[in-house]
Chains A and B, each alone.
Chain A
Amino acid sequence: MALTVAMAFGVLLAVLVCSVLARKANRDVAESRSRERRERIVAGLADGDTGPLEGALAGTRHPQEDAIAVLRANPGAGPAGLSPPEPLVRQLRSRSAPARGRAVVLLGLLGAEESSAAVAALLADENHDVRLAAATALEQIGGATGAAALVDALETELLSPSRVVERIAHPWAVEALLPERGRFGTLARTSLWRAAGLAQAEEAVPVLREVAREGEDEERISAVRALGELGSEEAADDLLAALADPLWQVRAQAATALGRLGDQAAVADLEHAMADQSWWVRTNAAIALGQLGEEGAAALERVAGGRDPYAAERAREALQGVAA
């Protein structure tokens, strides 16, 4: 009995050792096969031959993963106008989350516009990785439908606002979404203003100026920040006005924005903001003055020698380049 148990255990151990070694050997082979496949796809794309890529798209997990790796590593190398194979589009409805994930990533990388609607449906997928991959795919595909779907997804709370803003921070998306702002809720509008700033979407400036003065609280913060990022000189007056906003977050953003703008006309107002009751506003005003050349530096010197100890410290730090 004892011998049998010992032998059985010995056999089990031998099997396990062998399986680890076999796995290692197997993976080595699989890796080299995968490397060759990637090289074939790259070479094919360089010669205008989409055969190897299409083969990988229609393949199982590993070929598809290789196609993803190649297309991600060479953005823009994908063939223009390649219509995605039907099985790949069907794969969006697979029961397996990884399969849906791969399909949605590939359709995004291929810029498959005709699949926009099907991809958008996955913004509400049960798997969070698939949801985010769908959001990225819509961004890569581009177009008004995708941008609107991304903003609408904010309502479901399945994607966090920052993840949506990242993906609509492109001039084309802002341009497509601006006319629709009337139907958006506050969160969607706030996200759009933030995206406009990141995307450097100049056409949003008139709307942003209006929002900076009259928008709701969250919107004003976002719009003032965006105006700063856009560096729009015509908005200087709105930014100066925002320095007197009742909300400290707006005032802090306005101070930063005026620093970026580099307009020395703001020195007096920023010097005044150094006495703001909010620590953030004082800090941002000091950093902004540090960006406004000699006049800004002179203002900092005045504040550093002034009576307000909090403002003086901020000013001294800004002069030394260690304010934060």
Chain B
Amino acid sequence: MNGVLRALNELTLAYFIVLDAIYLAMAAIGWWAVESYVRIRSARDYDRVRTSPLSPALTILVPAYNEELAIVTSVRALLANRYPSLQVLVINDGSSDSTLEALRGAFDLRPVLRTPSSSLPTARVRGIYASPTEPRLTVIDKENGGKADSLNAGLRFARTPLFCSIDADTMLDPDALSRIVWEFEARPETVAAGGIVRVVNGSQVKEGRVTEVRTPKAWLPTLQILEYLRAFLGGRIAWSRLGMLLIISGAFGLFRRDVVVEAGGYDTETVGEDAELVMRLHRHQRDHGRSSRIIFFPDPICWTEAPTSLRVLSRQRDRWQRGLLQMLWKHRGMLGRRRYGAVGMVGFPYFAVFEAVGPLIEVAGYLVFAISLATGAVSWAFALLFLILALGFGFVISFMTLLMEERAFRRYPSWPSLGRLLAASIVENFGYRQLLSLIRARAWWTELRGTSGWGEMTRSGLGGAIPAEREVAEN
């Protein structure tokens, strides 16, 4: 019995050693990538993108389901973005509240006819509306079909070369669009780009804009601030540099419309349509023998409200994990295939082992470890080594991330905010990370049992607190 326990412990230990080594390597690559961006940043003239009549036109797609409280503020904030050629396309996904009426009242909407620019299948479109007072706004009213279906409806009627997918309660920094468009202007082979998603809890928001950045008093959102920073600066930026970015957050991503439509738009069968689309773009482009650039770029910032209750958090993470499982299962044909390059040979296997199966191994590992300690099957020296590897490296990577943040972006300017983030990087190792592993392990069960859907969402309108289910930030 003790022999088995010891062997299991050693296996878990080996898993953590490999995982930590990968995290460290990724954080190091991320460090280098952030550093090289910071050094070249002054050569970029983002004002040019913001003022040039030749900046590519883009449509912000805003799927809205029961958003009557937030939608008008959100749309006004989006229209106030500093970008020369901007369209906002709201898709009312069969809301049962008065989302459409709120928009109609605020913008004097009139019914219009529009010819679809593509033939993506969607739930029935009931009407299209335009505003005589705000020519950049179009509203599509359709029957309920979910977020992916709404985005597809938006893609059917958008006409600009670029489109931006965004959640109805995401807040963009005023310069976020011009910064992310720079990537498409400077490198025309870019087909998709994601910006950093930051947690807005605790910060001051006025009229849909973040005016002062602070960490919140509550611990749960503070832990998520750190988690997001680590996922983006310590993980995604490195995957992007290696050409293996598999996820662009649904909260804020910019895409080439023609390529996405050609690849078939968003998948309505998954709960993780944002990640699935990126995977499919990789696949589609490779299948057609094209090189394409799909990147994460840390400077264009969007803000989102993180869940403040464990219940909402656990539902959100369950959904993310199921989305990941569905995406990997759907594209399992890419696994280990040389034709899909680094994505198939390295990115996919990593996600399958460490992000999909990983939480199961972690939870099993913690259990075995607890039993072994209780029965005396492992020595204290081993226990210490285990704890350091299982928990300790989390500190190192979190600190590295905070250093990167301080070096490059400095969005949390006050000492107390930084202090809280430092404390969070210690606190999160005692309970929070294990809880997340447990939720993600449980997602296997909910997925295999066949429960689906997004779960209920309650919102209270921008400017106040918006409970949220948002974003994908694995790692």
Identify which of residues 377-396 in chain B touch chain A, using a CB-to-CB cut-off of 8 Å: 380-381, 384-385, 388, 392, 395-396
Return the contact of B54 from the options A16, A127, A162, A322 (Cβ within 8 A). A162
| Contact A313-B132, Cβ < 8 Å, known A2-B384, A16-B399, A165-B54 | no
- Whether B406 and A27, one on each chain, are in contact in the complex, defined by CB atoms closer than 8 angstroms, is yes
- Whether A24 and B112, one on each chain, are in contact in the complex, defined by CB atoms closer than 8 angstroms, is no
> A22 to nearest B CB, angstroms?
10
- Chain A neighbourhood of B186, CB < 8 A: 128-129, 131-132
- Chain B neighbourhood of A72, CB < 8 A: 45, 47
Q: At the interface, yes or no: A245 with Cβ under 8 Å from chain B?
A: no
- Chain B neighbourhood of A68, CB < 8 A: 42
Return the contact of B135 from the options A9, A17, A97, A324 (Cβ within 8 A). A324
| Contact A127-B132, Cβ < 8 Å, known A9-B392, A160-B188 | no
Contact string against B for A residues 148-173, beta-carbon threshold 8 Å, 1 for contact and 0 otherwise: 00000000000010110110000000
- Whether B388 and A102, one on each chain, are in contact in the complex, defined by CB atoms closer than 8 angstroms, is no
Interface size, chain A (Cβ < 8 Å): 50
- Whether A322 and B131, one on each chain, are in contact in the complex, defined by CB atoms closer than 8 angstroms, is yes
- Whether B40 and A98, one on each chain, are in contact in the complex, defined by CB atoms closer than 8 angstroms, is yes
- Whether A23 and B43, one on each chain, are in contact in the complex, defined by CB atoms closer than 8 angstroms, is no
Identify which of residues 85-127 in chain A touch chain B, using a CB-to-CB cut-off of 8 Å: 96-98, 101-102, 104-105, 127
Q: At the interface, yes or no: A19 with Cβ under 8 Å from chain B?
A: yes
- Whether B113 and A317, one on each chain, are in contact in the complex, defined by CB atoms closer than 8 angstroms, is yes
Q: At the interface, yes or no: A226 with Cβ under 8 Å from chain B?
A: no
| Contact A166-B48, Cβ < 8 Å, known A24-B418, A320-B110 | yes
| Contact A163-B392, Cβ < 8 Å, known A24-B418, A27-B410, A322-B131 | no
Q: At the interface, yes or no: A279 with Cβ under 8 Å from chain B?
A: yes
Cα A23 to Cα B408 in complex, Å, equals 11
- Chain A neighbourhood of B138, CB < 8 A: 324
Give the contact-size bracket for chain B: 35 or more
User: How many inter-chain contacts with C-beta < 8 Å in the A-B complex?
Assistant: 120
- Whether A97 and B410, one on each chain, are in contact in the complex, defined by CB atoms closer than 8 angstroms, is no
- Whether A12 and B396, one on each chain, are in contact in the complex, defined by CB atoms closer than 8 angstroms, is yes
Q: At the interface, yes or no: B407 with Cβ under 8 Å from chain A?
A: yes
> A37 to nearest B CB, angstroms?
14
- Chain A neighbourhood of B400, CB < 8 A: 16
Return the contact of B406 from the options A24, A132, A279 (Cβ within 8 A). A24
Cα A24 to Cα B131 in complex, Å, equals 48
Interface residue SS majority, chain A? helix
Q: At the interface, yes or no: B115 with Cβ under 8 Å from chain A?
A: yes
Q: At the interface, yes or no: B44 with Cβ under 8 Å from chain A?
A: yes
> A87 to nearest B CB, angstroms?
17
Return the contact of B42 from the options A24, A105, A321 (Cβ within 8 A). A105
Q: At the interface, yes or no: A198 with Cβ under 8 Å from chain B?
A: yes
Q: At the interface, yes or no: A6 with Cβ under 8 Å from chain B?
A: yes
Return the contact of A127 from the options B40, B45, B52, B422 (Cβ within 8 A). B40
Chain A residue nearest in CB terms to B399: A16
| Contact A98-B410, Cβ < 8 Å, known A20-B418, A24-B418, A324-B138 | no
Chain A residue nearest in CB terms to B115: A279
Chain A residue nearest in CB terms to B421: A20
- Chain A neighbourhood of B52, CB < 8 A: 166
Identify which of residues 157-177 in chain B touch chain A, using a CB-to-CB cut-off of 8 Å: none
Contact string against A for B residues 304-344, beta-carbon threshold 8 Å, 1 for contact and 0 otherwise: 00000000000000000000000000000000000000000
- Chain A neighbourhood of B44, CB < 8 A: 129, 132-133
Cα A129 to Cα B2 in complex, Å, equals 60
Q: At the interface, yes or no: B39 with Cβ under 8 Å from chain A?
A: yes
Cα A223 to Cα B188 in complex, Å, equals 25
Chain B residue nearest in CB terms to A100: B43
Chain B residue nearest in CB terms to A3: B384
Chain A residue nearest in CB terms to B159: A324
Return the contact of A104 from the options B43, B115, B135 (Cβ within 8 A). B43
Q: At the interface, yes or no: A276 with Cβ under 8 Å from chain B?
A: no
- Whether A20 and B42, one on each chain, are in contact in the complex, defined by CB atoms closer than 8 angstroms, is no
- Whether B43 and A105, one on each chain, are in contact in the complex, defined by CB atoms closer than 8 angstroms, is yes
Chain A residue nearest in CB terms to B402: A20
- Chain B neighbourhood of A104, CB < 8 A: 43
Q: Which of B43, B54, B384 has the most CB of A within 10 A?
A: B43
Q: At the interface, yes or no: B415 with Cβ under 8 Å from chain A?
A: yes
Return the contact of A322 from the options B112, B392, B418, B422 (Cβ within 8 A). B112
> B390 to nearest A CB, angstroms?
13
Chain A residue nearest in CB terms to B398: A16
| Contact A320-B406, Cβ < 8 Å, known A98-B39, A128-B186, A160-B188 | no
Q: At the interface, yes or no: A65 with Cβ under 8 Å from chain B?
A: yes
Q: Which of B39, B42, B384, B410 has the most CB of A within 10 A?
A: B42
Return the contact of B45 from the options A65, A136, A323, A324 (Cβ within 8 A). A136
> A64 to nearest B CB, angstroms?
8
- Chain A neighbourhood of B290, CB < 8 A: none
> A128 to nearest B CB, angstroms?
4
Identify which of residues 179-200 in chain B touch chain A, using a CB-to-CB cut-off of 8 Å: 185-188
Identify which of residues 400-425 in chain B touch chain A, using a CB-to-CB cut-off of 8 Å: 400, 402-403, 406-407, 410, 415, 418, 422
Q: At the interface, yes or no: A273 with Cβ under 8 Å from chain B?
A: no
Return the contact of A23 from the options B53, B187, B406 (Cβ within 8 A). B406
Beyond A27-B407, A198-B53, 17 additional pairs, beta carbon < 8 A:
A2-B384, A16-B399, A16-B400, A20-B403, A20-B406, A27-B410, A98-B39, A98-B42, A101-B42, A102-B43, A129-B44, A162-B54, A162-B185, A166-B48, A320-B110, A322-B112, A324-B138
Between-chain CB contacts (< 8 Å), 17 pairs: A2-B384, A5-B388, A9-B392, A17-B399, A20-B399, A27-B407, A72-B47, A102-B42, A104-B43, A130-B43, A133-B44, A136-B45, A160-B185, A166-B54, A322-B130, A323-B112, A324-B135
Residues on A facing B (Cβ under 8 Å): 1-2, 5-6, 9, 12-13, 16-17, 19-21, 23-24, 27, 61, 64-65, 68-69, 72, 96-98, 101-102, 104-105, 127-133, 136, 160, 162-163, 165-166, 198, 279, 313, 317, 320-324
Residues on B facing A (Cβ under 8 Å): 36, 39-40, 42-45, 47-48, 52-54, 56, 110, 112-115, 130-132, 135, 138, 185-188, 380-381, 384-385, 388, 392, 395-396, 399-400, 402-403, 406-407, 410, 415, 418, 422
